[in-house]
Structures are given as structure tokens and as C-alpha cells.
Amino acid sequence: MSQLVSRLDVRSDEFERNRKAMLTALESIEGHTAKVVAGGGERYVERHRARGKLLVRERVELLIDRDSALLELSPLAGAETDDPIGGGVVTAVGVVSGVECVIIANDATVRGGAQSPSTVRKINRALEVATVNRLPLITLVESGGADLPNQSKIFVTGGSSFKDISRLSKAGIPTISLVFGSSTAGGAYMPGMSDYTVLVKEQAQVFLGGPPLVKMATNEDADVEELGGAEMHARVSGLADYLAADERDALRIGREIMAHLRGVRPPSTLTGGSEPVYPVDELLGIPSADPRQPYDIREIIARTVDGSDLAEFKPIYGANLVCGWATLHGQSIGVLGNNGILFSEEAQKGSQFIQLCNQTGTPLLFIHNITGFMVGTRYEQGGIIKDGAKLINAVSNSVVPHLVLMVGSSYGAGNYAMSGRAYDPRFVFTWPSHRIAVMGGKQLAGVMSIIRKNAAEAAGRTFDLDDDAARRQTIEDQIDRESTALYSTGQVWDDGIIDPRDTRVVLGLALSAAMGRPSSGARGFANFRM
Ligand code: COA
């Protein structure tokens, strides 16, 4: 391995400007996170406490092993949408009784834990993380089921969570439900579909239809405890496998169950590895506030991988795609990072590198700062589509774990070629400096303007320049608003925006989770177009 040599001038005005812009962006992210942590707000939190209940994050804290790290997923789901930010649910990868698990925990202070479209997206993503990484599932349930006024946005696709829990069990991945409160319909199927269920006495209530629904359906005035109380389910229906005395007892039983299941997943093999030789704090000053400003992706790699060591592959060929081998917390990985637009050479180099990593079962880390593939007559004639297709073929059929870190732009087919979300990477994390779209707002607005101008000319109409300028501005603003890291994470296009200084830790936790289902690598790819 050779140690990367940083050329970052940490005393420059540019570095200081970038750092300030990043810190401001992080402050804004922290503001959004604080809203999520506040749950449904003071009134609902106080009512919840007055009922003698623990808050959702307290439950999760008590469930996981003391002093173990928690990798929260999609904390800002629902940002920039009409749904409550955070989706009224906490999803995370955490260690319970020494086993890495996926945790899904309803926040009952947010609309009674009812599931909005963002809740559904977040839960579905957490279930996908459990499935692809073979992580046992623990759900901490207290949910009013479907967010009823929004039912049309969730009903049809939202049902897949029951299927996914069932398939986890079939795949030999245990599922455990701890029920803390009222859990209706969709909420009831969480324990209903799980391998093990624990219900808290005189607190958990599980019903297919709660009292209001029963009243509507059959006019019965049902008694809550008789209809779905914990004791009833433990003694009569048999839905409860364990009756917990209180919330802490339920968490203890959940930990005990997981302790019996230790064999399902090998303990993490990550060893720690040596720290990078450059301070991670300097990551703050690398990306510019202006996403169009280029920087050397090696500066980020040098502050992420063990010992800042990267054995570069083909360093002077296709130089805009940096490829090389490194270790992360002691685990060998292949790194692909963008240093500018992708040409044919970069696409070919990336394809070859991905094949080599598959030959040895080496996981891949993709670091995105990519505006796309090069366009223009010369490049079309040079076969840029064929070469881009090679890279997309390699990415699509690679079976080693892919981790994705989006530090800057992720535009156009560059997103796909770098294993964007649609290409099933195990985890995707972003920095606040991340932007994602088909292309930049200015370019997209310009393309639309040219199309309108051509259409006006073809129809013999006059092209109104003032109207065009106004429309350009509107569309540019819209695209820019929809391209931010916050918008993206609100849609659950990624697993969360992280502080750049936490990159090494977050990638380590993600890699550890992914290595529970390692891969010996793909032995075949689709035909490469030559
Ligand atoms: N969809 C949308 N909003 C819901 C909801 C649902 N399924 N369940 C509760 N809410 C809202 C309530 O309207 C209330 O909003 P508000 O304070 O703005 O008026 C807020 O969440 C808190 O509900 P509240 O009933 O005061 O809380 P609670 O803790 O006393 O009871 C439930 C929680 C879930 C037990 C109770 O609200 C309930 O029974 N909900 C209906 C559940 C149901 O029948 N679901 C069917 C799904 S198919």
C-alpha cells in the first residue's frame, strides 16, 4: 500500500470558507434532528410520560448493549414533505446481546404511532437492510396502524412489510416483537408476523380492529382488555409468547431471546484498523459550498481509510475515476471515487476494477462526486454509451457488498454507474454537500428552454424571451430545491445525512453489518458490449 499525500491547504481562505459553509449546513441538519427527537411535541411527550411509558429513544437505548454504537437509519425521513419529519418511527442497526440487529421502534407521541407514507418508506427500507444483510429484526411496537386520512398513499404498497417479516423468518433470520402500547391493524401484524412476541402487561393492546373500528364494523362496544389486552393474548389467543411485567421487563426478555439466537450471525470481524494519518476534522473543509467546484477525492479517501493507505489501480489511466484497494477497520475494500466527469476510459477502468474485486470477494466503497458521463459528438462516436453500459453492467451484476458515500454531486447515469440507490447497495450515506438529480438545475432549465425555442420555431410562433427567462428561473429553483441532501433523505433515497467527521465510524458500522452476509464475488456478468 502507499500512503496518500494530502495537498489540502488547511490555512487557505478556501478551506476556511468551505469549513464554515459545512458547519452551517450541519447546524441546520441538527435543527431538523432536534425536531425528530422531540417526537410529537411537548404535549404528547408529557402525556406519554404521564402514562408511565418510556420514550421511543429510551426504549432503544435500553434494548441495545451498553456503550454500543447505534447506526440510526433515515432519521430525517419525511423532511420537505407533508409528513411528520422522522416518520414517527426510529429505525437503526444496533447490537443486542452481542448480535447486530435491525431495530424498528414506533414513536407513539407522533400521531399515535400511525404510519404516514414516510413511515412506510422508512420501515420498508429497514426491512430491506435486515434482509440483504441477514440481520435479525426487533420491533418495538406501539402503533395506531395506517395514518387513516393518508390511507390511499400507503395502503396498497404498505402491506409489503408483513411479507418481508415473514420472508426474513423463512430465510432463517429471527424476528422479535416487543409490544408496548396500543397496536392496531398494521401495528398488530408486526407481532402477528414475528417469530417471538413479548407483550407488556396492562399496557400492550393488540387488535386487528381497535374499539373505534369494531364499533364502526359491528356496533360492538368492546372492552379494550378483553378485545386485545396483553393478558388476554398471553392466556387466551396465544399471540403473546411472553407476558412482561413492565417495559423494562419486556426489553430484558427481548435481550434474553436474542442471547439464545447468537448463532444466527457471526460476530463482527472488524478489528479497528489504524486511524488515517490526516485528521478527520479536515473533511469539513474539502467540499466547496458550490457543488461545481472540483476537489481531489483522494483527500477524502485519505481521511477515511486505515492509515490513509490506498493501493491505486491504473492511476494514470481514466484518472477521473480513482480506483484502489484499502482497508477499513481492518477489512479489505475496493474504493471507487470520482475526480470529475466519466469518460470512456473511466468507465472501462471501473468495470475492470469491479470485476477484480468480485474475483476476490472484496466489498466496494463508491464515493460519489459525479456530474455524469461526457456528452458530445466526439464522445458519442468514441462509444461513450457502450462504455457506460459496461460500467453499469459491472455494477448491476457485482455481488460483493456495496457501500455508497455521496459527498457531492450524484447526477445522471453517473449515479447509476456508481451503484446509486436503484442498484441495491447495502447502505447509502450522504454529506450535507450532496446534490442528486438527473442534472443540475441550471442545465435542466436550459435544456427545457432550448426545447421550447425549437418547438416555437417549428410552429412559426414567436419565442417570448421574458416568459422564457421566468420559466427558466422557476424550473431551476424547483430542481435545485429537489436536489438537496435534505430533500433526498426526506424521500428515503439514502440511509441518512452524516457529519463528515463521522464518516469512518458510520462506514465501519455499515461494513460490519454488511459483512454478516459476505460474498465470494460474482463469477459471471452480462455480456460486455465491445
Ligand atoms: N391515523 C391518523 N391519525 C391518528 C391515528 C391514525 N390511525 N391514530 C391516532 N391518530 C392521531 C389522533 O387523531 C390524534 O391527533 P390529534 O391529537 O391531532 O387529535 C393523535 O394521533 C393522538 O391520538 P390519541 O387518540 O389522542 O392518542 P392515544 O395515545 O390516546 O391513542 C390510539 C392512540 C392509536 C390507540 C388511538 O388514537 C386509536 O385507537 N387510533 C385508531 C387506530 C385504528 O383504528 N387504526 C386503524 C388502522 S387500519
- Return the pLDDT at 265: 87
Total residues found in the chain within this entry: 530
Q: What is the DSSP-derived secondary structure letter of residue 234? A: I
Work out the number of other CB atoms within 10 angstroms of the CB of residue 473.
Answer: 12
Cell 389486552, residue?
229
From the list 322, 355, 373, the residue with the least C-alpha distance to 522 is 355
Residue 59 CA, ligand 1 centroid: distance in Å: 21
Local structure of 117: helix, strand or coil = helix
The alpha carbon of 168 and the centre of ligand 1 are apart by a number of angstroms equal to: 29
The residue whose CB lies within 8 Å of the most ligand 1 atoms, and thus the one to mutate among 110, 115, 179, 182, is 182
Q: For cell 414516510, what's the residue? A: 118
Kindly give, in sequence order, each residue whose CB lies less than 8 Å from that of residue 451, ignoring residues fewer than 6 positions away. none
Judged against a pLDDT cut of 80, whether residue 482 lies above it is answered with yes
Q: What is the band of 157 on the pLDDT scale with cuts at 50, 70, 90?
A: confident
The amino acid occupying position 255 is R
CA 123 to CA 157: how far, in whole Å?
12
Nearest CA to ligand 1 atom 4: 111
In 3D, which of 48, 53, 36 has the Cα closest to residue 251? 53
Number of Cβ within 10 Å of residue 110's Cβ equals 27
Rounded Cα gap, residues 185 and 412, in angstroms: 41
Q: What pLDDT is attached to residue 270?
A: 84
H or E segment and range at residue 93 = strand 89-96
Checking if the pLDDT of 70 tops 80, the result is yes
How far is the centre of ligand 1, averaged over its atoms, from the C-alpha of 126 (Å)? 24
CA 212 to ligand 1 centroid distance, Å:
10
| Terminal Cα-to-Cα distance of the chain (whole angstroms) | 32
Nearest alpha-carbon partner for 401 in 440, 354, 433: 354
pLDDT at 483: 96
Protein residue with least CA distance to atom 13, ligand 1: 111
User: Would you state the pLDDT for residue 474?
Assistant: 96
Task: State the pLDDT confidence band at 215, using cuts at 50, 70 and 90.
Answer: very high
Could you please report the per-residue DSSP string of 255-305?
A: HHHHHHTGGGSPPP-----PPPSS-GGGGGGSS-SSTTS---THHHHTTTS
Spatial neighbors of 465 by CB under 8 A, at least 6 apart, are none
Identity of the residue numbered 315: P
Mean residue pLDDT of the chain comes to: 95
Fold assignment, 25-264: 2-enoyl-CoA Hydratase; Chain A, domain 1 (3.90.226)
What SS3 state is found at 422?
helix
pLDDT at 290: 86
280-437+484-514 has which fold? 2-enoyl-CoA Hydratase; Chain A, domain 1 (3.90.226)
Q: How many Å apart are CA 139 and CA 274, to the nearest integer?
A: 35
The pLDDT score that the predictor gives to residue 212 is 87
Provide the CB-side half-sphere exposure for 250 (13 A, CA): 30
Span from the CA of 76 to the centroid of ligand 1 (angstroms): 22
Cell of 521: 464475488
Domain boundaries, the chain: 25-264, 280-437+484-514, 441-482
Residue scoring higher pLDDT (211 or 325): 325
Identity of the residue numbered 376:
G
Answer whether residue 31 shows pLDDT above 90: yes
CB atoms within 10 A of CB 52: 9
pLDDT in tens, 350-367: 999 999 999 999 999 999
- 106-119 tens-digit pLDDT: 999 999 999 999 99
Q: Are 311 and 249 in contact (CB under 8 A)?
A: no
pLDDT at residue number 166:
97
Cell 404528547 found at:
44
Q: What is the DSSP string of 121-171?
A: HHHHHHHHHHHHHT--EEEEE----B-GGGHHHHHHHHTHHHHHHHHHHHT
Can you tell me the mean pLDDT for 335-362? Answer: 97
Q: Span 465-472, mean pLDDT?
A: 95
Tell me: pLDDT of 1 over 80.
Answer: no
Compare 254 and 293 and report the one with higher pLDDT.
254
The residue type of 512 is S
State CA 405 to chain mean position distance: 10
Cα-based distances in Å from 492 to 79, 86, 511: 9, 10, 20
Residue 504 half-sphere exposure, CB side, CA atoms within 13 Å? 29
User: Helix/strand/coil (H, E, C) string of 296-309?
Assistant: CCHHHHCCCCHHHE
For the whole model, what pTM was predicted?
A: 0.96
Residue 63 near residue 138 (C-beta atoms within 8 A): yes
CA distance 475 to 469: 10
| Cα-based angle 405, 406, 411 (whole degrees, multiple of 5) | 140
Measured from the Cα of 213, ligand 1's closest atom is 44
Name the residue of 55, 142, 148, 162 whose CB sits within 8 Å of the most ligand 1 atoms, as the mutation to test its pocket.
148
Indicate which residue's Cα is closest to atom 17 of ligand 1.
111
In a mutational test of the pocket of ligand 1, which residue from 107, 184, 214, 218 has the highest number of ligand atoms less than 8 Å from its CB? 184
Query: What is the Å distance from ligand 1's center to 210 Cα?
Result: 10
Residue 129 CA, ligand 1 centroid: distance in Å? 29
Amino acid 66: pLDDT: 95
Instruction: State the sign of the Cα–Cα–Cα–Cα dihedral 189, 190, 193, 194.
Output: negative
How far is 84 from 207, CA to CA, in rounded Å? 25
C-alpha 366: how far from chain center: 15
Equal fold, 25-264 vs 280-437+484-514: yes
pLDDT in tens, 118-131: 999 999 999 999 99
Which residues have CB under 6 Å of ligand 1? 111-112, 114, 144-148, 182, 184-185, 210, 212-213
Residue with cell 393488540: 206
CA–CA separation, 179 and 199 (whole Å):
5
Structural element, H or E, at residue 242: strand 242-244
Burial annotation 351-383 (CB, 10 A radius, 16+ → b, else e): bbbbbebbeeebbbbbbbbbbbbbeeeebeeeb
